[in-house]
A and B are shown apart, each in its own frame.
Chain A
């Protein structure tokens, strides 16, 4: 009897342990799945779709579904949203391609990887022409186009620009690095002990900002507009890439004024101390600019031009990252999911998203961006428009550079950071190593 009880107890423990172990396996960032409460008014049964979007964007889901169902009453949908932050999407999407959602928001550098894994479906030209009808520029659509097919619908522009203290720099002072340095030198002579130490602050170890320096020079590092998976313009020490590498070295060597080249924390400290009066960042650091300069003194402008060699000014391009909406190849309602995706990037859909998630990024709808009422609500509209017009490099979308660029560029800059006095030959060696790392075979 005793042994029977032991066996039963043991089995219960095992089964219970197994059940408990199988529960709660989901990541807490992928937890909420709330069906949309916006029920369509028509008698047609809504088709259930699933979607991954970030927490901030989830606030807009009810309004988006209501808007879609009102516009297309013959094809109503209901939407189950799972909150997945954009940084996690790439890894989770490929962990089980058969269990992907119908639609997902993905960062720009993930789209290429997903399409190369045949995980996402292409949008047909007919649909693009019908639903987009020129409201998103071709150059923007190109950021999610591979092998002549569109795999993502860009819905959000993310880029960076120059924040500056308007009470310190005039509008003309921030047009070039040289002008900024001249302004600082003149002001330091006047202010004496309260000297400004840095021209500007930029996190140069972040691959995004390094990319902007390299791509400001035409054919900076990528060959064939970045589509080549085996070539760079670095191998063999091509002049343009080398001149940019020398400029980065110069940034580390510069003093009076120098550059603040650390991360966000260093940037913040140096702004608070008044050592820096301008920094390079995006809309996510608007509050930091207000805190450092004062609400009325925050100026925003395109990045200043810089001199690579001689006296010629090189326009400093920003790098644009375009988040996209993708539809899974495993979706059983692919056409409807794509129709909903087109709605999401329409003027109406983008406006709902922007209003509900508090803004912070630039929509891709041309008509929405041109709307004066919308511009009045968006403090970044003017500068983002200027950046788009004057110079933005739409982030390279070659598979190897998407995945290899970040660590490789950080390692390259670290070599200069560890030894700013390194010679031209050492710099060339580091540049060659960067070139090799960029095209290092991901797979054989």
Chain B
């Protein structure tokens, strides 16, 4: 349908069409999300296949030294007089083999089993060392160990105490297991690169081409390949401090790591998709309350993110437009006053508002002083779910509007004035000017910011935690209050309940939701689609 045909339709038909289009786009975006995951794995598979082909070529076309390089990395380089490089490769291979033999195999075993040895207790004289002759008396819990050792030896002057031998720490095994797998994958990639390089140096030597010396390679690292030098440490840092903990957290979601299964009292184990099954309603009473809590909190999280983002955005924009209007005096003063709240740290503002809105707080005192509230009544804004939620959204305006005023003020000043003049000459109403000129312009520039804000508000820990701490509480939820977001619930699951596996599941779901909204919204933003119009 062309634009003209679309405009010729009655307004209700146009609205209906836009409505269907929106859901169709959402559906396509949803499918594209999973298709892109599939494409990623397909590309990965193709790259792996390509690598195998190149290795096969290296073996089939390589000479004795190149083929030896499959076992002893760097031998081909040493043969072609790249001695330092070859020795370095050989050393790295030796180090890796040493790591695998000493630590790696156990680390991988630990990753698979998550530990086999539980805590044990033994009879002891001094409470630390196992009493000689009592090594065979092993107990799995402290109570039975105490009962045996004290009773067995009562009055005999031999072990009346116990000593403890800690078992495996499943969380440490998980972490080091992941590290081992990453190192193995990294070595495989390194191995593949070195072997391919072996055939390359062979072919260059045979063609009497110049081969880099060690000094040439070093110089390249400071010249042509300087990006490798610069990126090495940041990439290493990202792998250690971001990717490793991230994988660790993701894998926790497939275990039963919680208060009853944690070091030192107990190991935890792989339980597959049980936690996700519980999330979607399976798993009996424990699963159903988890599922019930998740979907209710998810609903509130999305509602909160929507209102927090768009109210802040549009109110901030309106205020900025009002201040920017011709004829308004003391523009700088108004802007300063409205953005003053940025100077106060957010958590201070939120804690203060919590006190203001509590019973016997500042707001209650003012209302009673002005006679708007009876002396015997109490302010219960934060005691009821609906009023607490509305209060949170409104107080968030205090926090968020100043930022929007600042960002849109700058954009408003840069919208070409002749656009407005032309519109006025054509007889456009103020609402039309706003919808057709101002809003699209601002949306184009702040579109990505809006998406970031929406995703950020889904994870807005501070506002909820400092303002209500998730209260009011309810027994219908699992370890959560009625104003908790997914992120504050996750915090309570870890800090208050030590329920790490469920918390990991919430973390993954939160990521999926944020990624989903980010990808769809960004793809459909005017910043992506209409870049040329605003260039």
**Chain A positions 10 through 51: 1 when the CB is less than 8 Å from some CB of chain B, otherwise 0:** 110010001000000000000000000000000000000000
Chain B residue numbers with a CB within 8 Å of A411 are 472-475
Question: Roughly how many angstroms separate A115 CA and B119 CA in the complex, as a whole number?
Answer: 13
- Which label, helix, strand, loop or mixed, suits the secondary structure of the A interface? helix
- Find A414's partner among B223, B378, B383 (CB 8 Å cutoff): B383
A94 in contact with B127 given A115-B142, A118-B119 (CB within 8 Å): no
Of all chain A residues, the one with the shortest Cβ separation from B223 is A3
A443–B264 contact, CB under 8 A?
A: no
Chain A residue numbers with a CB within 8 Å of B383 are 414, 417-418
Chain A residue numbers with a CB within 8 Å of B472 are 411, 414, 418
Chain B residues numbered 48-88 whose CB sits less than 8 Å from any CB in chain A: none
B324: min CB distance to chain A, Å: 41
Question: Roughly how many angstroms separate A6 CA and B227 CA in the complex, as a whole number?
Answer: 12
- Find A118's partner among B261, B265, B473 (CB 8 Å cutoff): B265
B359–A266 contact, CB under 8 A?
A: yes
Chain A residue numbers with a CB within 8 Å of B237 are 14, 18
CB of B161 closer than 8 Å to a CB of A:
yes
**Chain B positions 251 through 271: 1 when the CB is less than 8 Å from some CB of chain A, otherwise 0:** 000001011111111000000
B360–A269 contact, CB under 8 A?
A: yes
CB of A372 closer than 8 Å to a CB of B:
no
Q: Give the residue among B259, B261, B286 with the most A Cβ atoms within 10 A.
A: B259
Question: Roughly how many angstroms separate A261 CA and B229 CA in the complex, as a whole number?
Answer: 66
Chain B residue numbers with a CB within 8 Å of A436 are 285, 475
A265–B359 contact, CB under 8 A?
A: yes
Of all chain B residues, the one with the shortest Cβ separation from A119 is B264
Chain B residues numbered 111-162 whose CB sits less than 8 Å from any CB in chain A: 119, 126-128, 141-143, 146-147, 150, 160-162
CB of A116 closer than 8 Å to a CB of B:
yes
Question: Roughly how many angstroms separate A263 CA and B48 CA in the complex, as a whole number?
Answer: 65
A116 in contact with B265 given A266-B360, A332-B128, A442-B258 (CB within 8 Å): yes
- Find A126's partner among B160, B233, B259, B262 (CB 8 Å cutoff): B160
A262–B126 contact, CB under 8 A?
A: no
Interface size on A, residues (CB 8 A): 61
Chain A residue numbers with a CB within 8 Å of B478 are 440
Question: Which one of B3-11, B12-20, B405-413, B492-500 is at the interface?
Answer: B492-500
Chain A residue numbers with a CB within 8 Å of B476 are 433
Question: Roughly how many angstroms separate A91 CA and B497 CA in the complex, as a whole number?
Answer: 10
CB of B98 closer than 8 Å to a CB of A:
no
A149 in contact with B146 given A14-B233, A442-B258 (CB within 8 Å): yes
B218: min CB distance to chain A, Å: 10
CB of B352 closer than 8 Å to a CB of A:
no
Chain A residue numbers with a CB within 8 Å of B256 are 443-444
A197 in contact with B376 given A148-B143, A407-B479, A440-B286 (CB within 8 Å): yes
B119–A266 contact, CB under 8 A?
A: no
Chain B residue numbers with a CB within 8 Å of A412 are 475
Question: Roughly how many angstroms separate A124 CA and B154 CA in the complex, as a whole number?
Answer: 11
CB of A212 closer than 8 Å to a CB of B:
no
B382: min CB distance to chain A, Å: 11
Question: Roughly how many angstroms separate A268 CA and B264 CA in the complex, as a whole number?
Answer: 45
CB of A403 closer than 8 Å to a CB of B:
yes
Chain A residue numbers with a CB within 8 Å of B474 are 411, 414
Chain A residues numbered 99-140 whose CB sits less than 8 Å from any CB in chain B: 113, 115-119, 121-122, 124-126
Of all chain A residues, the one with the shortest Cβ separation from B492 is A407
A126 in contact with B258 given A414-B472, A442-B499 (CB within 8 Å): no
Chain A residue numbers with a CB within 8 Å of B222 are 3-4, 7
- Find B233's partner among A10, A263, A437, A444 (CB 8 Å cutoff): A10
Chain A residue numbers with a CB within 8 Å of B475 are 408, 411-412, 430, 433-434, 436-437
Chain B residue numbers with a CB within 8 Å of A149 are 142-143, 146-147
CB of A167 closer than 8 Å to a CB of B:
no
Interface size on B, residues (CB 8 A): 57
Of all chain A residues, the one with the shortest Cβ separation from B237 is A14
CB of B289 closer than 8 Å to a CB of A:
yes
A443–B258 contact, CB under 8 A?
A: yes
Q: Give the residue among B142, B358, B378 with the most A Cβ atoms within 10 A.
A: B142
Question: Roughly how many angstroms separate A3 CA and B283 CA in the complex, as a whole number?
Answer: 60
Q: Give the residue among B119, B127, B166 with the most A Cβ atoms within 10 A.
A: B127
B259: min CB distance to chain A, Å: 5
CB of B318 closer than 8 Å to a CB of A:
no
B359–A126 contact, CB under 8 A?
A: no
Question: Roughly how many angstroms separate A407 CA and B473 CA in the complex, as a whole number?
Answer: 7
Chain B residue numbers with a CB within 8 Å of A116 are 265
A444 in contact with B265 given A121-B164, A266-B360, A414-B474 (CB within 8 Å): no
Chain B residues numbered 464-519 whose CB sits less than 8 Å from any CB in chain A: 472-476, 478-479, 495-499
A373: min CB distance to chain B, Å: 37
Chain B residue numbers with a CB within 8 Å of A335 are 126-128, 161
Chain A residue numbers with a CB within 8 Å of B479 are 407
- Find B473's partner among A268, A269, A414 (CB 8 Å cutoff): A414
Of all chain B residues, the one with the shortest Cβ separation from A433 is B475
CB of B226 closer than 8 Å to a CB of A:
yes
CB of A311 closer than 8 Å to a CB of B:
no
B388: min CB distance to chain A, Å: 11
Which residues of B are interface residues toward A (Cβ below 8 A)? 119, 126-128, 141-143, 146-147, 150, 160-164, 166, 222-223, 226, 229-230, 233-234, 237, 256, 258-265, 283, 285-286, 289, 358-361, 376, 378, 383-384, 472-476, 478-479, 495-499
* A-B contact sample (8 more), CB < 8 A, given A329-B264, A441-B286, A443-B256: A97-B264, A146-B143, A335-B128, A436-B285, A437-B475, A440-B286, A442-B260, A442-B497
Q: What are 18 A-B interface contacts by the 8 Å CB criterion?
A: A10-B233, A94-B498, A97-B263, A118-B164, A124-B150, A124-B161, A149-B147, A265-B361, A334-B128, A335-B161, A403-B496, A407-B473, A411-B472, A437-B475, A443-B261, A444-B256, A444-B260, A444-B286
Closest 7 CB pairs of A and B: A443-B260, A334-B127, A147-B143, A411-B473, A443-B258, A437-B475, A118-B265
